[in-house]
Amino acid sequence: MKKILTGIQSTGTPHLGNILGVIIPSIKIANHSNFSSFIFVADLHSLTQVKDVKKIRDNTYKVVAAWLAFGLNTEKSILYRQSDVAAEVTELAWYFNCFFPYKRLTLSHSFKKEKKKNNHFKMNVGLFTYPILMAADILLYNAEIIPVGKDQLQHIEIARRIASRFNQKIGKKLFVLPNPFLQKEIGSYVPGTDGKKMSKSKKNCINIFSSDDTLKKQIMSIHTDNKSLKDKKNPDQDFVMSLYRLVASINEVDEMREKYIKGGYGYLEAKIALYECIIRRFSVEREKFFFLIKNKSLLDRILYLGAKKAKNIACERLNFIRKNFNFSPY
Ligand code: ADP
Ligand code: TRP
């Protein structure tokens, strides 16, 4: 049976980008196919950015609540925390570390970006070896389909290279080569309030799981040009419209397009329409999320069950990998 797997870091509350780019499409496959699915909170990865362990724990609950709010069926899918399989995934990552060329890892986009932002002395090694741990997340379960945003493509490519290197070394097809699964409808990425990729690390998120007031403020802060209310506007070069297109129905989008082209329709009205549309479209999920986040014992129970299932499979697979790699201490 084919496996799908994806992870979201516990660096904050999942935003509209995570939701449209990964959560909704993954749930569609996970709930309605014969694939077995592994959905996890990448809390070990988030330690590369967040050093406050309590924050990581709180964010972990938020990520889990978001998956459940959107209807992930945990009878069918395994929803777990990466640190609950820490022993298995980090052991595998270590083997990969020892077989992957250092130089190749220095070419990773995410590493180069971090290197630009930080100075060498402040940057932690975890940021460098990040893709190796990600490869271990995937290859530990032999997952084939990996729903991710475009920014993760290179990481999947690294996982593929590691898999084929290992297979070659061992002379067996021990690992299947994973394939990314992109949500094409959203384009390259869901834009944030500044038009750049929406990201938890930037202050450009639209967070549907925040209060009505905060959500409204975030939407009101979307950058626009300085055309006045009466001016005609370009619907194809505007961030409010770009976001509206991702959440509204075709008819609603057509109506807004016409208003832009005609003139006499201001960005304030467009933002209010976007806000109302988001509240309408996600009302059920928001309610579920707010309920779950107040009922942590339910989330703990789900995580406990997920950990047991994931750990069993991970242990079995790791033993099998060790044997084939002739590195079995047992
Ligand atoms: P962030 O980039 O906000 O810190 P994560 O790194 O935890 O979020 O990303 C989790 C998943 O969501 C990844 O597969 C990532 O590619 C995807 N993702 C993040 N932001 C966006 C976005 N703006 N549009 C589409 N997908 C996104
Ligand atoms: N690197 C991913 C991100 O930042 C999170 C992640 C960790 C992941 N391990 C993974 C995603 C394995 C897919 C598969 O979004």
Strand-pair category, 77-81 with 3-9: unpaired
CATH for 3-190+296-324 (3.30.450.40, 3.40.50.620, 3.30.360.10, 3.40.50.1980): 3.40.50.620
> Where in the chain are all domains bearing CATH 3.40.50.620?
3-190+296-324
The SS3 assignment for 115 reads helix
Ligand 2 centroid – CA 152 distance (Å): 7
* pLDDT single digits (tens) 130-150: 999 999 999 999 999 999 999
Contacts of 101 (CB under 8 A, 6+ apart): none
Q: Is 4 in the pocket of ligand 1 (CB under 6 A)?
A: no
Q: How open is the CA angle 138-143-146, to the nearest 5 degrees?
A: 75
Residue 79 phi/psi, 5° resolution? -110, 115
Whether the predicted pLDDT of 118 surpasses 80: no
Q: Give the per-residue pLDDT at 329.
A: 57
Q: Report how far apart, in Å, the C-alpha atoms of 305 and of each of 39, 42, 86, 274 are.
A: 13, 17, 16, 38
* pLDDT single digits (tens) 202-250: 889 999 999 999 999 999 999 999 999 999 999 999 999 999 999 999 9
Q: For residue 143, give the ligand 2 atom closest to its CA.
A: 14
Q: Give the per-residue pLDDT at 1.
A: 86
Q: Report how far apart, in Å, the C-alpha atoms of 27 and of each of 131, 142, 188, 257 are.
A: 24, 19, 20, 31
In the chain, count H helices and then E strands: 15, 5
Q: Give the per-residue pLDDT at 113.
A: 80
Among 43, 48, 151, 194, say which to mutate for ligand 1: greatest number of ligand atoms within 8 Å of CB.
Answer: 151
Cα(300)–Cα(307) distance, integer angstroms = 10
Cα(20)–Cα(176) distance, integer angstroms = 27
Q: Report how far apart, in Å, the C-alpha atoms of 205 and of each of 47, 199, 265 are.
A: 21, 6, 25
Ligand 2 centroid – CA 236 distance (Å): 31
* pLDDT single digits (tens) 46-86: 999 999 999 999 999 999 999 999 999 999 999 999 999 99
Sheet of strand 36-42: strand arrangement: 77-81, 36-42, 3-9, 145-147, 179-181
> Where in the chain are all domains bearing CATH 1.10.240.10?
212-285
Domain 212-285, second-level architecture: Orthogonal Bundle (1.10)
Query: Model-level pTM greater than 0.75?
Result: yes
